[in-house]
Amino acid sequence: GDSVTQMEGPVTLSEEAFLTINCTYTATGYPSLFWYVQYPGEGLQLLLKATKADDKGSNKGFEATYRKETTSFHLEKGSVQVSDSAVYFCALSDQSQGSGNTGKLIFGQGTTLQVKP
Query: Nearer to another protein by C-beta: 1 or 117?
Result: 1
Out of 25, 49, 74, 88, which residue is the one contacting another protein (CB under 8 A)? Answer: 49
Residue 41 found at the interface with another protein (CB under 8 A): yes
Out of 1, 40, 43, 100, which residue is the one contacting another protein (CB under 8 A)? Answer: 43
Long-range contacts of range 106-111, CB-CB < 8 Å, 24 or more positions apart? Answer: 106/2, 106/3, 106/4, 106/25, 107/4, 108/4, 108/5, 108/6, 108/23, 109/5, 109/6, 109/8, 110/6, 110/9, 110/38, 111/6, 111/7, 111/8, 111/9, 111/10, 111/11, 111/21, 111/87
Near another protein by CB under 8 A, which window of 13-21, 39-47, 60-68, 78-86? 39-47
Q: How far apart are CA 51 and CA 40, in angstroms?
A: 28
Residue 48 found at the interface with another protein (CB under 8 A): no
Query: Nearer to another protein by C-beta: 18 or 53?
Result: 53
Residue 68 found at the interface with another protein (CB under 8 A): no
Residue 7 found at the interface with another protein (CB under 8 A): no
Which amino acid is present at 91?
A
Interface residues with another protein (CB under 8 A) are 32, 34, 36, 41-46, 49, 51, 89, 93, 95, 101-105, 107-110, 112
